[in-house]
Chains A and B, each alone.
Chain A
Amino acid sequence: MSQDHDQKTITVSVRVWRQAQGEKGGRFVEYEVADTPLEASFLEMLDILNESLVEKGEDPIAFESDCREGICGTCCLVVDGLPHGPSQCTTCQLQMRNFEPEAKITIEPFSTGAFPVIKDLIVDRSSLDRVIQAGGYITVHSGPKPEPNSVPIEHEIMEDALDASACIGCGACVAACPNGSASLFTSAKIHHLALLPQGQPERNTRVKKMVEAMDDEGFGSCRNYAECQASCPKGISIKYIGRMNSDYIKATVLDTDRRGSMHAT
């Protein structure tokens, strides 16, 4: 932050977790990244580092990114011990001007019990996809669709559902949780559907299947630390976890399944 106005570049040293594909363990390797432009993003700094590694004939650092606009949820780095780094945004939105000159930055993968490391900084987050597959959808009939405005939705409820649907599935909540729980992700995915009329028919089976899938994937349980909420780049509230719990209890204890379980077998 205390950059000299005349200074246009920054030199930092990074400690990066390197882990070869198919291997269990890894180690930290230190690199110096000299004269990175201040307007560069954090991932562009890694691009610059990778270019120099390729030029030297070394293996570039493997990391994930896609849109680099903070909307796709692909980038996932633990920067200085914090998922997505010090600011509450995705890793790609982290800027080099956020760092002090000569800063030593530690970069690690989002690795938890349910997110095994594939290589270097890339983790396997397909466990989140399988939680979605278990019930994060609505079943619609084929053929003519009703006129959308014929289903009125109260504004507040719509906003609430949209807040839940802001989840980009990056997995920062899992990486931030001391228990590696995916409760924030799962509850957001349940409630952007459960709050709306279209999500009602499968509401009970959805919450049961998704909670069971979350457990099957080996995620931990929620202990209400609220660390996930503090790390979520989309600012999703833990209120959805409370709602997931009450919905799950209603679906299991009261067993009020309105249309019966639907299996696509």
Chain B
Amino acid sequence: MKKISQLYSTSVGKKLLVAVTGAIMYGFVVGHMLGNLKAFAGPSALDQYAEMLRQIGQAFLGNGTFLWIARIVLIVAVIVHVITVIQLVQRNSRAKPTRTVRRRNASTLAAKWMAISGTLILIFIVVHIAQFTLGWFTPHAAGTEGFVHGAVYSNLWGAFQLWWVALFYVAMMAMVCMHVYHGAWSMCQTLGLDAPDRNAAIRGAAAAIAIALFVGFSAVPISMLTNSIQSPTDDSSMTEAFEPDGSSESSRSKEGAG
């Protein structure tokens, strides 16, 4: 505890906390993206996957306990990350040049936009949890099912039939992509893992993972908006040609969604 407070008292130590909490969230985001790809295996595959997440460690912790541990760790990580960054920003605004100094274009756009992308991601996290976890804010296209707890695929489908919801998600994923590109490299530098002989590889890996996250996350909203994957109502008919109008009719007649 003394060491943590000692670390927290200096800017380098604060940056270490930002890097470690960032790494926790980075791990979560990569896992979340890979989990989302279950959508391409069909509605029931995604819903079963979501149910499986609740059941991790069920044998010794009981249902949903592990999920709550993970949630608490992530919430604490977000809070520590944001508060520490705000403190660093306050320090930096006191220390910054008092006259306008031009940049030599050494910094990337991602680096310059860290505060913007970070703030937007924070807003996005709130909206995203309110929309798909809590079901407080559930815009959905006319003719689709409303929000049903546990009906993950159908909930996504209803929301992403709306172009502006899909656009918001894709735009926010671009922010995540930028934030984690600078964040991942910056984390390596802060933890002192960076070295000239590894720098190119670390930068390359940071860029590759950031792009993979953008593509992986955007795939679901875009393919749902363009009706290029299954509608939630024809789970078993993978081979059948899909007609959006017909499926809206049938989903209206059904109660709940699989």
Contact = CB atoms under 8 A, between A and B. Distances in A.
A245 B3 CA distance: 15
Contact-residue size bin, chain A (C-beta under 8 Å from the other chain): 35 or more
A242 B96 contact: no
B185 A224 contact: yes
Interface stretch (A59-67, A68-76, A90-98, A174-182): A174-182
A230 to B, nearest CB: 4
Interface of B: 3, 6-7, 9-16, 88, 91-92, 94-107, 111-112, 114, 182, 185-186, 188-196, 199
A153 to B, nearest CB: 19
14 contacts: A111-B97, A112-B96, A175-B101, A178-B96, A179-B95, A180-B97, A218-B95, A220-B11, A220-B92, A242-B189, A249-B191, A252-B7, A253-B7, A255-B3
B151 to A, nearest CB: 42
B99 A246 contact: no
Nearest to A254: B3
Interface of A: 17, 78, 80-83, 108-109, 111-114, 117, 175-181, 211-212, 214-215, 218-227, 229-231, 237-239, 241-249, 252-253, 255
Contact of A176 (B11, B15, B101, B188): B101
B106 A220 contact: no
Nearest to B103: A227
A247 B190 CA distance: 11
Find the residue from A109, A117, A225, A241 having the highest chain B CB count within 10 A.
A225
B192 A246 contact: yes
Chain A, interface SS category: mixed
A233 to B, nearest CB: 12
Contacts of A177: 96-97
Nearest to B18: A221
B186 A78 contact: no
